[in-house]
Amino acid sequence: MILLTRRATFSASHYYWNDGWTSEKNEQVFGRCANRNGHGHNYTLEVTVAGEPDPMTGFVVDLKWLKQVMEEDVLSDWDHRHLNLEVAEFAKLIPTTENIAIAAWKRLEPRVQGAGGAQLSRVRVYETPEIYAEYRGER
């Protein structure tokens, strides 16, 4: 089995806020991330698929196709957007890096699965070069 990874970047704004909490508790738990005016990051989305190379092409998946799927299913909705205000998943879900990785997985998994062959193995989202979250489809 071979793991193949494709990276892409997007820029978006967000803030962390739990509506069930007081302002004090939000500020205590989330610190500067609780600023309701939002702040932004240059995110890196790293998508890894696993499979056997096709005997005809030598590809696990066509990287061009994977780039297009990432673009159509994730980046076109998220790039240069405010995640809390403009992205459906985060209307009621805090856009932490963990939740962003899970949301990207949910968007990408059906397309990768539907293509046959390769499986989605992991989705990693870097919020900065020093901070990332990863989801591997585990419950």
Partner 1 sequence: MKAYFGRRYSFSASHRLHSDALTAEENRTAYGKCNNPHGHGHNYVVEVLAAGAVDPETGMVVNMATLDAVVRERVIDRFDHMNLNLDPLFANRVPTTENLCRTVFELLERGFEPAKLELIRVEETENNFFEYSGN
The contact set with partner 1 (CB under 8 A) reads 16, 18, 20-21, 29-31, 93-99, 101-102, 124, 129-136, 138-139
State the minimum distance, in angstroms, from the CB of residue 53 to partner 1.
Answer: 26
Of 8 and 133, the one with the shorter C-beta distance to partner 1 is 133
Measured from the CB atom, is 30 or 65 closer to partner 1?
30
Selected catalytic residue, list 27, 33, 89, 134: 33
Q: How far is CA 101 from the centre of its chain?
A: 4
Pair 40, 12: CB distance under 8 Å:
yes
14 in active site = no
* Neighbour-count burial of 129, counting CB atoms closer than 10 A to its CB (0-12 exposed, 13-18 middle, 19+ buried): exposed
Q: Residue 134 Cβ, how far from partner 1 at the closest point, in Å?
A: 4
Is 127 considered catalytic here?
Answer: yes
Q: Which is nearer to partner 1, 36 or 136 (CB)?
A: 136
Q: How far is CA 10 from CA 7, 52, 65, 123, in A?
A: 10, 29, 18, 14
Q: Annotated catalytic, 80?
A: yes
Phi, psi of 65 (to 5 degrees): -65, -45
Q: Give the nearest distance from C-beta 116 to partner 1 in angstroms.
A: 26
DSSP count for the chain of H helices, then E strands: 5, 5
Residues classed as catalytic? 33, 80, 127
